[in-house]
Every structure is written in structure tokens, then in C-alpha cells.
Amino acid sequence: MYNIHPSMSPKCTKENNKNNIQLGATGNVRPCNFYGTRANWQHLEKWATDKRFDLTKLNIKVSTMEQIYDSDIFKAILDGHRTLDLPEPCFWHCKKDAKQILGYKETDKGFGLNGNK
């Protein structure tokens, strides 16, 4: 296992987690299902570009799963749990004191962004 910063509580490290990696329609392997939204994926894209990571390494059409897990970008995300060098959605969803303010949820008003249709 790897080290996790005390302020973080990544759901992907929890026993019986439901926050597995996700395969997008374009072949991108997303490090967790929170990156399944276009907005969160754009934050990952910006973070990767700023760090000069090649985001195509996360694409199943370009890399095998073993290569994806061994890629510098995937390892940087795992290491970010320790260093806090992560894309913003990681903090929104996995910081211990985080209150989810973004995202889709079901309410008595129907299903939509924060309950709004």
C-alpha cells in the first residue's frame, strides 16, 4: 500500500469501495468514477497538461492496462494522495472534511445538477 496524507480519505482505498476506475467512451481509463463527468475530466486534463504528462497514456487504445498502471500520470495521482499534488476533484470528493457541493444527485425535484432540472 502507499502513504495517504492525513487530510485525505480517498474512496478508492476503502474496503468494499464502489469508486472503481472507469473506462470512458473514447477509451480513456479514468482513475476513479468521479472523473466520469466531463467537467471533472477537464480538471484532470488541465492538471496533466500543467505537469507535462501525456494524457494519451491513459487511453486503452494506446496502452495496455499494465502500461496505464505503470504510467507516470497514474503513479503521480497515487502519489498525490500523499503529497496533495492532485487535480481539484480529488479534494472535492476525497478530502476528509469535504462537503460535496458539486455533482448530480437525486432529490424530490428529480435527478439533476444539485437537484435542479
Q: How does DSSP classify residue 101?
A: -
Q: How does DSSP classify residue 35?
A: G
In this prediction, residue 109 carries a pLDDT of: 52
Cα 43 from chain centroid (whole Å): 9
At residue 103, the 3 state secondary structure works out as: coil
> Residue 19 is placed in which grid cell?
469508486
In our burial notation (b when 16+ CB lie closer than 10 A, e otherwise), range 32-51 reads bbbbebeebbebbeebbeee
CB 14 within 8 A of CB 4: no
Higher pLDDT residue, 10 or 88? 88
This prediction's pTM: 0.73
Instruction: For residues 24-48, give the mean pLDDT.
Output: 90
In this prediction, residue 12 carries a pLDDT of: 67
Q: Which residue has the cell 458539486?
A: 102
CA distance to 5, 40, 46, 76, 82, per residue, from 36 (Å): 24, 7, 15, 19, 23
AA identity, residue 51: K
- Residue 64 reports pLDDT greater than 50: yes
- Residue 102 reports pLDDT greater than 60: no
